[in-house]
């Protein structure tokens, strides 16, 4: 079961003054108490491309507190490289794009809560990175307590979320779309369903996340 953030964590965020936009984002993160562990959701890995030499570049990740995954994708979204990373202080990996055509590529670092993305460009054989242009997108989260199901997504980039509940035969029992808010939240009372296994299917940002739940 996920823990709620403590009042100490809340005081850290609010003891200093923030610009209104930043304050709203911070409060939005705090408001996702139903389904996101505060420390894990708000912790961002320090992702940098620290060196680039012709076709090669070095990925450096710092302060990896939770198991993560590193992916390199082309413009069509095809995964060209993938590696699981255990929690560690420093992670470095050298990649060589010599066999790949010129173009734009995405480097993604993701864990169970979010994905951090930065762009790489290969022009005339040389690789360059936009270290200052990183984006963070959060993954939808669920929490089931007895027959009460809570769904939430921190949609800082105006994401939309489609929530489907399927039975063991993959029949759709319920489906609805969420949008128009920084916090996309939906609660379901599943007390009318028979005991058994169900799938909560979450679609956002072109990705589908299947979460299995069991009702007793």
Mean pLDDT computed over 85-99: 83
Are 47 and 126 in a shared domain?
A: yes
Are 149 and 209 in a shared domain?
A: yes
Min mean pLDDT across 54-63, 161-170, 191-200, 207-216 is at 54-63
170 found inside a domain: yes
Strands (E) located in 74-171? 79-85, 88-96, 103-110, 114-123, 126-129, 135-138, 141-145, 148-154, 161-166
Q: What is the mean pLDDT of the chain?
A: 78
125 found inside a domain: yes
161 found inside a domain: yes
The parent domain of residue 152 ranges over: 140-215
1 found inside a domain: no
Are 171 and 201 in a shared domain?
A: yes
2 found inside a domain: no
For 36-56, letters b (16+ CB in 10 Å) and e give: bbbeebbeebebbbeeeeeee
Are 55 and 129 in a shared domain?
A: yes
Are 98 and 131 in a shared domain?
A: yes
Tens of pLDDT, residues 138-168: 999 999 999 999 999 988 888 999 999 999 9
146 found inside a domain: yes
Structurally, the chain folds into a number of domains equal to: 3
Are 72 and 103 in a shared domain?
A: yes
């Amino acid at each position: 079961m996920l823990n709620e953030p403590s009042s100490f964590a809340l005081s850290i965020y609010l003891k200093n003054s923030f610009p209104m936009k930043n304050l709203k984002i911070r409060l939005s993160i705090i408001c996702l108490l139903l389904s996101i562990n505060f420390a894990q959701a708000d912790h961002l890995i320090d992702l940098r491309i620290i060196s680039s030499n012709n076709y090669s570049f070095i990925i450096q990740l710092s302060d990896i507190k939770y198991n993560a995954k590193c992916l390199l994708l082309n413009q069509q979204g095809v995964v060209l490289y993938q590696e699981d990373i255990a929690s560690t202080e420093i992670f470095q990996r050298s990649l060589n794009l010599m066999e790949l055509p010129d173009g734009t590529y995405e480097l993604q670092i993701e864990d169970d809560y979010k994905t951090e993305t930065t762009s790489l460009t290969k022009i005339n054989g040389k690789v360059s990175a936009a270290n200052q242009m990183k984006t963070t997108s959060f993954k939808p989260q669920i929490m089931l307590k007895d027959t009460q199901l809570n769904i939430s997504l921190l949609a800082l980039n105006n994401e939309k979320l489609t929530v489907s509940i399927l039975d063991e035969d993959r029949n759709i029992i319920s489906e609805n779309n969420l949008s128009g808010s920084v916090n996309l939240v939906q609660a379901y009372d599943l007390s009318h369903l028979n005991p058994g296994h169900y799938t909560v299917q979450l679609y956002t940002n072109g990705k589908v996340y299947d979460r299995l739940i069991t009702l007793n």
